[in-house]
Amino acid sequence: MGFFLEMGSRKDPMEQEDNVLDELLRDIAGLLHEYPKALERHAATIHTSGKDPDLAEKLLKAADTMRDSGNLYITWAKHFAALAKGNTDASSDEDETDDFGI
């Protein structure tokens, strides 16, 4: 009888993987959202100290680039997560630039 109770409490391995993909997607999105902010903070620190204005400007441009490219990566990651869930029409018309403050 214990076998049947144990079997009923197990999750479907496919569902578990879907959950892992969703969790990783959230983690990736969060990191890609925070990374440009960290670059901007670092650029502000450099600018305030007056040490290297060229480096500060490069870091600000890098933050913009990471913000733009982050949107592309997240769009593809969402596409592949949808495919993994069996959604064969995983294309999306959603504008995800709001995810990154673009």
- Span 38-70, pLDDT tens digits: 999 999 999 999 999 999 999 999 999 999 999
> Which pLDDT score is estimated for 87?
83
Identify the sign of the CA torsion 71, 75, 80, 81. Answer: positive
pLDDT in tens, 86-96: 887 755 555 55
Given a cut of 60, whether residue 102 has pLDDT beyond it is no
Q: What is the DSSP string of the chain?
A: -HHHHHHHHPPPHHHHHHHHHHHHHHHHHHHHHHHHHHHHHHHHHHHHHTS-HHHHHHHHHHHHHHHHHHHHHHHHHHHHHHHHTT-S--------GGGGT-
Q: How far apart are CA 60 and CA 43, in angstroms?
A: 6
For the chain, give every domain's residue range.
15-100
Average pLDDT of the residues in 23-48? 96
